Amino acid sequence: MPEQPAFVAELSRVWRTPQFWVVIARQSIPVIGVAFFDWAALQIGAYFVLQSWLMLSLYCATDLTFDPKYQEGKPPRNFGESLSALIKMLFGALFIVGIMIGLCAAFILLKFFSRDAVHAFVTDDWHENGFLFGLAAMATSCLFETVRFVRSLPSRSPAQIEADDMRIATTFYRVVLLFVACALIGAVGGSSLGDLLFVLAIALIMAYFEALPRSAALLIRSVKG
């Protein structure tokens, strides 16, 4: 029997896991926001920026907390110590990553979004219930994934370790993609149908990178030559 393509093989292995559906749910949030809550272009952009900030901060914190090369011979001994160390590292990561993400976001805001869009977001759009619920759901799903990762550490198989490492390794590309999406949605946003199709495409790409890290890493390697 011929070997299955990497995408098909990985999808058939992970699609029944809770982690896969958490990723799908998280990437569906902006699609639902546009389709049912009529998110404006800047709400979509803000969602992508905040997702980038939280996602990159969490991955930095988990990598610095649990990668042996950063532990100085004193790895966390149990779940409680692991979570405590992770929370401390997360506060630092949120601050440092927030500065970098904030500078990029400010450039995109000034370059690609109109003053009217910024004014509408500042005065009304940011505190709409649909937008706030979307942010809360996104943050909850990211924290759920972090707790799942910490709890799985003692029992991870070599395949799970490899998948987690690849997921962290592709984080940079996912953040770049989200910022490109912010710029594009600011430059060409305006049509509800156009925004929906664009956000759906971004959601599918992000779900691919996050839920299928092995095949995504292979794709990146092939593109880089």
3-state secondary structure 116-153: HHHHHHHHCHHHCHHHHHHHHHHHHHHHHHHHHHHHHH
How many CB atoms lie under 10 A from the CB of residue 157?
A: 9
- Per the prediction, the chain carries an average pLDDT of 84
pLDDT of residue 143: 86
pLDDT of residue 134: 95
pLDDT of residue 70: 67
Q: Which two tokens stand for residue 6?
A: 């990497």
Q: Cα 14 from chain centroid? A: 18
CA distance 94 to 74: 23
Gyration radius of the chain over CA positions: 18
Q: Is the pLDDT assigned to residue 150 strictly greater than 60?
A: yes
CA distance 76 to 71: 9
| 3-class DSSP assignment, residue 154 | helix
Q: Which two tokens stand for residue 175?
A: 């953040």
> The tokens 């299928």 sit on which residue?
212
Provide mean pLDDT across the span 32-50.
91
**Least confident residue range of 3-12, 25-34, 86-95, 210-219:** 3-12
Q: Cα 178 from chain centroid? A: 9
Q: Is the pLDDT assigned to residue 98 strictly greater than 70?
A: yes
